[in-house]
Amino acid sequence: MNYYNKASEENIRIDWLTVILYILIVGFGAMNIYSANSTIDHTFIFDLTMEYGKQFMWIGVAAVIVFLILLLDPKFFNFSGYGIYAVVIAMLLVLLATGAYNKGAQAWFKIGSFKLQPSEFAKYATALALAKFLGTFDVKFAGKKNIAICFGIILLPMILTLAQNDTGSALVFASFFLVLYREGLSGWYLVIGLYLAALFVFTILFPSLYLIGVILILCGVVAYFYKKYRQMLWLSIIVFFASAIFILSVDFIFAKVLQPHQQQRILVTLNQDVAEYYPRKAKEFSLFKIDMNRKDKKASKRDYSYNVRQSKISIGAGQWLGNGFNNGTQTKAKLVPEQHTDFIFCTVGEEYGFVGSSIFVLLYLLFIGRLYYMAERQKNVFARVYGYSTASVIFFHFFVNVGMALGVLPVIGIPLPFMSYGGSSLFSFSMMLFTFLKLDANRVNEISSVY
Amino acid sequence: MEKSGKLFVFFIVLAVIGIIFITRLFFLQIVDTSNYYKALAYGSNEVTIYPARGTIVDRYGKLLVYNDAVYDLMAVPQKIKNINKEKLCKVLQIDTNDLNGRIKKASRYNTREASIIYKSLPFHIYSQLQEIIYDYPAFFIETKIDRRYNINGAAHLLGYMGEVTERQLQNEKYYKPGDIKGMSGMEKSYELYLRGKKGKKIVLVDKFSKQQGSFAGGKFDSLPIAGQNLIAAIDLNLQEFGEQLMKNKFGSIVAIEPSTGEVLSIVNSPNYDPNLMVGQTRNKNFSALLLDPRKPLFNRALKAPYPPGSTFKTVQALIGQQEGVLFPDTKYPCHGGYHMGSLTVGCHPHASPLDLEHSIQQSCNAYYCYVYRSILDNPKYKSVQDAYLKWTQYLNSFGIGVKTEIDLPEESPGIVKKTQYFERVFGKNWRSSNVISLSIGQGEIGLTPLQMANVASVIANRGYYYIPHVVKAIGDEKTLPDIYKVKHKALINPIYFDSVIAGMARVCKPGGTAGRTGIEGITICAKTGTAQNPHGAHHSIFIAFAPRINPKIAIAVVVENGGYGADYAAPIANLMIERYLETDKTVTTRKDMLDRMLNANLVGSTVYDLPKPDSTLRKTLLPLTPKP
């Protein structure tokens, strides 16, 4: 058998399809940042006083980082998984401490003019740590202890990021549950999650008691049809009561746990009139009496929907073919705040129209799909878990970011990987991606994890 | 290595999200076009480009009115944040409180839209401001046009500009707050021609309203269309001469070219410098003029009805002949006046009896009392009232008692009473003797100087007139509205003018009432008038046209409190006629008369100071190119 010879030939097989997609997306991103950020006075491509100019610099730096990663021995990542995780967690703790000291949230370290955002690297570190843990010989996603450790690895950075008031970045860690699903977490948990999300939305849209009535009927019907099975009866009863309690507490969670701007963003996404919502809900039956305090009332009057309105208008203005590169009227007018960062998709929508945006969405999904496909083909658990983590994090960002720009999801400020302006984001995603590409390139040299 | 079917689930999820996103994109970009139109509205600012306003030249092409660029400091109040007010105030030469007040006023009007903070920046402030304006993103300078007048008189004729009022804004959609439009004179009546058409430029703006470039490559932009230039009928030289003559007198001169109805000059005294009505000090000057006890803003030529006095006898003579109650050889006696019962209308001593021609020459009051009585008591009519009504119809055909419809705003129709008025005063069966003073143009009759000139014009034309108009031609095509090409016929047969004109031709010759005012070489047909004035000395009035054959100019002069018609009005009119008809504009055969007129002061010893125009106004012709 010349198995080993063949393997060594393929030693440097980088997945070029992914690399090409990566280059396409990064290049397209730079074009859109230029479009959104350049002004009449600033058109020179490498104008470092402008953010588009800096982005070209970050891309250059990212290329160096990618090159270095490809030079590293793939075993390094496995070896240093916990170490990187520990460093990032430490950085988050330091930030939290200094942030508290400065009486305000601070999400970055300042290095010269570059702001390093540890939360961006926390995803990378978490992916490595989770992969390392699940890749450890004889460890599986089973048993209370292992499951608890997995949850801990994910939740620790999530909570630390949340403590920095960076809700968006914290939510990204939820994408690791997709990895856990692949590694054996029951799909039911995801179904329950979706069910609760749906209930949450319906509670905002419809009166709570009607909703409880509808669930009662549905549970009754299920119980009737499966009356032969005693378990189904109990299940129906449990689902009903759990749902009812959840529904009745949604208003409380909504009004008290979420901040006013978050409440408004959700209401706007659901096409609800903000001014009309609170009086309507106040009339309804509720387990918890919600009294909005003055601060909340004042905040609720502020208009948090501007961004989404402008975003939808920008995208809508693109029509079939868009206005063309650097010609988006809304884009050039800088009407969408944060257009070169979180709302970069508006530029795509306006300048490339329905055709361009659809192609972009399909290309991006192809890219993510390719990553999942590659993750699945890994021979060892470390690489597979790491691959799924990479794909899932990118997927979550893409889903939330584009969904927000399109107004189907509430505004959550997270960047579109490889597209949005920002050095930290570009570096961390590039590191994450090329670490996986290195692992993938090396997969044939790995003997199956079952030694 | 454990195989898992879960990869398939991931692919399904990706596909579902792809479908959701693309469907949503389809809805936003293709189905819901409202976003597209909102984008047009949100991301753009319509910037008005003001066209150059039409200039006005006199009948010989001498420039009267032109444009100059003025610069207004504008600001969007909402965007004024953290600015260095001291620096700005220093440049604007106002104190901080003043600036704050201006900003507050602007924000009361609209915080999101630009309002004027400092109107018509003087040039030295403007140039300094240009250097620092970039530090003040909420502020910008808007270029507008302002008028400059090449003449320091003729203000009532040319008119002035002013900011559109609230009401005009509601009625006329063309204007926007802060726009200026013609408020009086030709500026007002020819506003539609002069203003041109505003252009617009849709510029992309960012959320700070900072301009980012043109929208859609300028597809929806429009260039301003410059206003049409006007050729005024006025003779600048004659106008200025008239104003010199009327200096230190109250009154008015109106000169018309009878063959066309073109107004050669309209002099009002007191007058004011039209340059007072522009620039920084406009409002201050305007209120000073408004409060001036001599009422310099009052357009006597068009709005002050004077009793025409004896000049009215020409009209009476024509109506009498047309009515068949007066013939050229009709003679009436005059023995110190007209006596009828207790009623006496006095007359100066002259030969008696007189025929029609000589009654005009001598201006016999008694003669016209007989004439008017024969008109009103004409047995052809059932009553005096009917005869009076017919008489007023004759007057109206001369443009008396009705507006002449001159192309200037705010004209008075003068005074011609209706029969009902006399019924109220004298009872139902009033008689001709009640109104006998009308025969000599006194009492319940009033003609504006314009109407008097128009009467002279009718006589010069032997029976018709064109509506007097101050514009000779409009625009490059040199068009003239058709209404000024229509002959308005007086209800008098041309043959009846012979004896009246013959009489008028004797007036400025020795033996006539203005015998000492004649100009050698020019046959001036004229009629003096002395209107009794209950408030003081008589008004000196004179109507004339010349030359007798193929008249070139018809003129009316009113000098308030000037005494007899021959005292001031006649010399002034005749000097004007000479100036207009003679090719050499510098010499006069009547140097004595000219000096007397120039030196005459009827205003009295009270010295008023008229405001002076803003000295910072640049009186240079600048090509007005709208800023890109």
Contact B14 A395 (CB under 8 A): yes
Domain match, B132 and B241 both: no
Pair (B199, B305) in one structural domain: no
Q: Do B213 and A314 touch (CB under 8 A)?
A: no
Whether A408 sits inside 8 A of B28 (CB atoms) is no
**Minimal CA–CA distance to A118: which of A129, A107, A130?**
A107
Residues A42 and A110 in one domain: yes
Do A172 and A319 share a domain, yes or no?
A: yes
Cα nearest neighbour of A336 on chain B: B207
Answer yes or no: do A324 and A208 share one domain. no
A157 shares contact with chain B (CB less than 8 Å): no
Q: What is the pLDDT of residues B221-237, one digit of tens each?
A: 788 888 899 999 999 99
In percent, the amount of chain B with pLDDT more than 70 equals 89
pLDDT tens readout for residues B468-507: 999 999 988 888 989 999 999 999 999 999 999 999 999 9
Residues B219 and B247 in one domain: no
Instruction: Let me know if residue A389 belongs to a domain.
Output: yes
Is residue B582 over pLDDT 60? Answer: yes
Which residues in B have their CB inside 8 Å of a CB on A?
1, 4, 6-7, 9-11, 14-15, 17-18, 20-22, 24-26, 28-30, 32-36, 38-40, 42-44, 204-207, 212-213, 215-216
Residue that terminates a domain, selected from A275, A301, A327: A301
Contact state of A318 with B11 under an 8 Å Cβ cutoff? no
Helix (H) and strand (E) counts in chain A: 19, 2
A142 touches chain B (CB under 8 A): no
pLDDT in tens, B414-472: 999 998 999 888 888 888 888 888 999 988 899 999 999 999 999 999 999 999 999 99
Does residue B256 lie in a domain region? yes
At B155-178, the pLDDT tens digits run: 999 999 888 888 887 788 788 777
Q: For residues A442 and A380, what is the distance between their CA atoms, to the nearest angstrom?
A: 11
Q: Which of residues 347-376 of A touch B (CB under 8 A)?
A: 349-350, 353-354, 357-358, 361-362, 365, 368-369, 372-373, 376
Report pLDDT digits (tens) over B315-366.
999 999 999 999 999 999 888 888 887 788 888 888 888 899 999 999 999 9
* pLDDT for residue B207 is more than 60: no
Choose the closest CB to B21 out of A361, A372, A449: A361
Closest CA to B272 of B185, B348, B355: B185
Same domain? For A287 and A357 the reply is no
CB atoms B35 and A333 under 8 Å: no
Cβ–Cβ gap B17/A365 under 8 Å: yes
Q: Does A327 fall in a domain?
A: yes
**Does any domain span residue B619?**
no
Smallest Cβ–Cβ distance between A314 and the set B1, B24, B39 belongs to B39
**CATH code (residue B153):** 3.90.1310.10
CB atoms within 10 A of CB A142: 11
Per-residue CA distances from B197 to A178, A266, B54, B193 (Å):
65, 49, 11, 9
Number of domains making up chain A: 2
Phi-psi region of B145 (alpha: psi -120 to 50; beta: other; left: phi over 0): beta
Which chain A residues touch B20 with a CB distance below 8 Å? 408
**Full domain range(s) for residue A241:** 190-301
> Per the domain annotation, does B424 fall within a domain?
yes
What CATH number should be reported for the domain holding residue B255?
Answer: 3.40.710.10
* Residue numbers in A near B38 (CB within 8 A): 313, 316-317
Give the mean pLDDT of B265-291: 86
Judgement on whether residues B59 and B140 belong to the same structural domain of the protein = yes
pLDDT at A289: 59
Task: Kindly state whether residue B408 falls inside one of the protein's structural domains.
Answer: yes
Residue with tokens 């050039």: A332
Cβ–Cβ < 8 Å for A119, A88: no
Nearest to B24 among A337, A362, A408 (CB): A408
Nearest CB among A316, A333, A335 relative to B28 is that of: A316
Same domain, B549 and B458: yes
With respect to residue B470, please indicate whether it lies within any of the assigned structural domains.
Answer: yes
- Determine, for residues B28 and A312 on separate chains, whether the beta-carbon distance falls below 8 Å: yes
CA angle A367–A51–A361, rounded 5-degree value: 20
Cβ of B4 within 8 Å of Cβ of A182? The answer is yes
A67 and A153 fall within a common domain: yes
Nearest CA in chain A to B5: A182
Any domain includes B433: yes
Q: Give pLDDT tens digits for B500-529.
A: 999 999 999 998 898 888 888 899 999 999
CA A39 from chain center: how many Å? Answer: 30
CB B264 within 8 A of CB B254: no
Which one-letter DSSP state was computed for residue B28?
A: I
The four Cα atoms B31, B32, B36, B39 give a dihedral, to 10 degrees, of: -150
Q: Which residue has the tokens 């006496």?
A: B344
DSSP string, A360-401: HHHHHHHHHHHHHHHHHT-SSHHHHHHHHHHHHHHHHHHHHH
Say what percent of chain B tops pLDDT 90.
40
Query: Which chain B residues touch A385 with a CB distance below 8 Å?
Result: none
Q: Are residues B208 and B245 in the same domain?
A: no
Task: Report CB contact under 8 Å: B1, A449.
Answer: yes
- CA-to-CA separations, B184 to B252, B307, B600, in angstroms, rounded: 18, 26, 30
Residue A402 in any domain: the answer is yes
Q: For residues B598 and B572, give the distance between their C-alpha atoms in angstroms, rounded to a whole number.
A: 9
- Decide which of B3 and B64 is more confident: B64
B485 and B344, same structural domain? Answer: yes
Instruction: Classify residue B453: in a domain, yes or no.
Output: yes
Q: What is the mean pLDDT of each run of 10 residues along chain A (451 residues)?
A: 44 80 91 78 71 85 90 84 90 77 56 72 90 83 84 90 82 90 84 86 81 87 81 84 84 75 77 71 65 57 70 80 73 70 85 90 93 88 91 93 86 86 87 90 62 40
**Residue of A316, A368, A391 lying closest to B29 (CB–CB):** A316
Cis before B626? omega within 30 = no
| Model pLDDT, residue B31 | 80
B310 lies in the same domain as B438: yes
User: Taking the CA of residue A344 as centre, how many other CA atoms within 13 Å lie in the half-sphere pointing to its CB?
Assistant: 29
User: What sign for the dihedral angle of Cα B273, B277, B280, B281?
Assistant: positive
- Indicate if A167 and A45 belong to the same structural domain: yes
A277: Cβ contacts below 8 Å, ≥ 6 apart: A204, A267
The verdict on a CB contact (< 8 Å) between A376 and B4 is yes
| Cβ distance of A333 and B44 shorter than 8 Å | yes
Contact B232, B470 (CB under 8 A): yes
Of A422, A374, A368, the C-alpha closest to A397 is A368
Token pair, residue B524, equals 């001036």
String of b and e for A416-425 (b: at least 16 CB within 10 Å)? bbbbbbbbbb
Coil, strand or helix: which one is B352? coil
Q: Do A416 and A344 contact (CB within 8 A), yes or no?
A: yes
Phi, psi (degrees; rounded to nearest 5) at A116: -90, 125
Cβ contacts (< 8 Å) between B33 and chain A: which residues?
Answer: 316, 319
Alpha carbon of A55 to those of A27, A59, A60, B329: distances in Å? Answer: 11, 6, 9, 108
Mutation choice for A interface testing from B7, B14, B16, B21 by most A CBs within 10 A: B21
In a domain, A142, yes or no: yes
Tokens 């945006």 sit at which residue?
A357
> Which residues, other chains included, contact B108 with Cβ-Cβ below 8 Å and sequence gap of 6+?
none
State the pLDDT at residue B626: 35
- Is A98 a member of any domain? yes
Residue spans of beta strands (DSSP E) within A284-388: none
Q: Are residue B182 and residue B324 in the same domain, yes or no?
A: no
Specify if B298 maps to a domain: yes
- Report the distance separating Cα A27 and Cα A46, nearest Å: 14
* Chain B residues in contact with A407 (beta carbon < 8 A): 24, 28
Quickly count: other Cβ atoms within 10 Å of residue B412's Cβ.
18
Domain boundary among B232, B258, B282: B232
In this model, does residue B312 exceed pLDDT 90? yes
pLDDT on residue A6: 45
Q: What's the gap between Cα B515 and its chain centre?
A: 35
CB contact under 8 A, A337 and B207: yes
| Contact between chains at A316 and B207 (C-beta distance less than 8 A) | no
Q: Looking at beta carbons, which residues of chain A come within 8 Å of B21?
A: 361, 402-403, 406, 408
Same domain flag for A19 and A127: yes
Decide which of A301, A320, A342 is a domain's last residue.
Answer: A301
Mean pLDDT of B567-573: 93
Same domain as A331, residue A289: no
- B309: region left, alpha or beta (phi > 0 left; psi from -120 to 50 alpha): left
Task: Answer whether residue A451 is part of any domain.
Answer: no
- Compute how many other C-beta atoms are within 10 angstroms of the C-beta atom of residue A220: 12
The ipTM, to two decimals, is 0.87
Using a CB-CB cut-off of 8 Å, the residues of chain A touching B212 are 39-40, 332-334
A42 falls within a domain: yes
Q: How many domains does chain B have?
A: 2
Select from B1, B15, B30 the Cβ nearest to the Cβ of A448: B1
In a domain, A163, yes or no: yes
Q: Which residues, 6 or more positions from B37, have their beta carbon under 8 angstroms from its beta carbon?
A: none
Q: Are B498 and B447 contained in the same domain?
A: yes
How sure is the predictor about B577, in pLDDT bands with cuts at 50, 70 and 90? very high
pLDDT at A4: 46
Q: Which residues of A340-362 are buried (b: 16+ CB within 10 A; e: fewer)?
A: bbbbbbbbbbbbbbbebbbebbe
The DSSP secondary structure of B169-236, one letter per residue, reads HHH-TT--TT-EEE-SHHHHHTHHHHS-B-EEEEEEE-TT--EEEEGGGGTT-B--BPPPPEEES--H
Judgement on whether residues B419 and B543 belong to the same structural domain of the protein: yes
Among the partner-chain residues A320, A333, A376, the one whose CB lies closest to the CB of B212 is A333
Q: Which residue has the tokens 């009232």?
A: B385
What pLDDT score does B622 carry? 39
Q: Which of the residues A183, A307, A312, A449 would you substitute to probe the B interface, choosing the one with the greatest number of B C-beta atoms within 10 Å?
A: A312
- Domain identity same for A311 and A432: yes
Contacts of B42 in chain A (CB under 8 A): 310, 313, 330, 333, 335
Nearest neighbour of A335 by CB, restricted to B15, B35, B43: B43
Residues A241, A126, single domain; the answer is: no
What residue in B sits closest to A367 (Cα-Cα)?
Answer: B14
* Same domain? A127 vs A156: yes
> Which of A84, A99, A75, A100 is CA-nearest to residue A157?
A84
Distance of CA A371 to CAs A66, A349, A359, B276, Å?
A: 17, 25, 18, 80
Q: Do A181 and B14 touch (CB under 8 A)?
A: no
In a mutational test of the B interface, the residue from A372, A374, A448 whose CB has the highest number of chain B CBs within 10 Å is A372
* Contact of B148 with B70, CB cutoff 8 Å: no
- The domain in which residue B224 lies consists of 46-99+110-232
User: Chain B contacts of A333, Cβ < 8 Å?
Assistant: 42-44, 204-207, 212
Co-location of B170 and B255 in the same domain: no
Residue of B nearest to A317 (CA): B36
Both A50 and A165 in one domain: the answer is: yes
DSSP code at position B434: G
